[in-house]
Structure 1
């Protein structure tokens, strides 16, 4: 009798536990909230073209990959990028550079005849996320005027200290990507002015 009573009390608890709501997924973006660059008041003097960014193989998934120790990385199922990291980085760079230069990213878009277009190719070597410690991006990139053989190839490494939590981590990555974008903008501006840019 007592055993039957105990089972009758435990069964509803087990049923409720089985129906518990799973923890929610969280999605993060490097470009959301950056603001939209003001459109040039007149036709842009030149355009930029930012083809797809390449990233290491381990970053070809939406789940956030975080560094948790020496040589150890964890894949977080519930903390995800809103799109694949390559797309996130590319969009953030595009917004940062076009905003800095007051121009338009015209990748895969026709531009006025004879308008100068500066192509910026980017290969991300490292994109490290260490919660509560740092956010890092290490990128090799090149800039050239489309139709010209002159190419400037550089490397930018930007590391930002971050606080605890994934919002802080993502904010650190935004700052790091903005720093890389500033390096690229500086090179494009020098080329457009007829100078000889340096890394």
Structure 2
């Protein structure tokens, strides 16, 4: 009996040792640049939590393989839930583009101008060896105002076969969406009439 238990333990340990390692990816690694104090804008932004499609709201990478089939990759995972990854990456890209600070969950100075940016990700598609796609509906509103600008940005980036390249493609797509948002905020801050 003891011998059978020892053999079972050895086999179980051998099975654990042979399982492939998990890899974790982040969309915000290397995103954005810290603004220099001299370049700091006279306003703030607030980027609350984003929404993502239910099928991609999981830690594993979900990839499309064509013909409508999708594969859930157990060993390839996001460092945090995709909604949090996208929010952080957008925050870094938008604030880097505008030279401002994201004050979400942080008190802003009294009477400061704050632009709230709400984002709903309609599509977040990962096709290794083909493309990374982000389709986002976003809005910008100055806190305290009822006027709102609502736009849609779709960014599709070609990618290589590896998962590192796929994630880098999503980073580039987020940078493109962030540039659209930053352009609208910049126009609002100067009193211009922004358009999508």
Quick check: TM above 0.5? Answer: yes
TM-superposed deviation, 1:41: 3.5
> 1:48 matched to which residue of 2?
45
> 1:7 matched to which residue of 2?
none
SS in 1 for 2:37: coil
Q: Distance in 2 between matches of 1:86 and 1:131?
A: 20
Q: Distance in 2 between matches of 1:128 and 1:187?
A: 25
Larger Rg: 1
TM-superposed deviation, 1:112: 1.1
Listed one character per residue, the Cα deviations across residues 44-89 of structure 1 (whole Å, up to 9, x for unaligned) are 4000000100001112210000001121100000000100000000
Structure-2-length-normalised TM-score: 0.90
TM-superposed deviation, 1:36: 4.2
Q: Distance in 1 between matches of 2:53 and 2:31?
A: 25
TM-superposed deviation, 1:116: 0.4
Q: Distance in 2 between matches of 1:177 and 1:195?
A: 25
SS in 1 for 2:30: coil
TM-superposed deviation, 1:33: 2.1
Q: Is the 8 A contact 1:40 1:103 kept in 2?
A: no
Q: Distance in 2 between matches of 1:147 and 1:51?
A: 16
> 1:106 matched to which residue of 2?
103
TM-superposed deviation, 1:21: 2.8
> 1:68 matched to which residue of 2?
65
SS in 2 for 1:96: helix
Q: Is the 8 A contact 2:32 2:93 kept in 1?
A: no
> 1:117 matched to which residue of 2?
114
SS in 2 for 1:73: strand
TM-superposed deviation, 1:19: 6.1
TM-superposed deviation, 1:111: 1.0
Q: Is the 8 A contact 1:39 1:103 kept in 2?
A: no
Across the aligned residues of Structure 1 and Structure 2, the Cα RMSD in angstroms comes to 1.8
> 2:54 matched to which residue of 1?
57
> Gapped runs of 5+ residues in structure 1?
1-10
Number of residue-to-residue matches in the alignment: 187
> Gapped runs of 5+ residues in structure 2?
1-6
Q: Which moved more, 1:43-52 or 1:188-197?
A: 43-52
> 1:28 matched to which residue of 2?
25
SS in 2 for 1:68: strand
SS in 1 for 2:35: coil
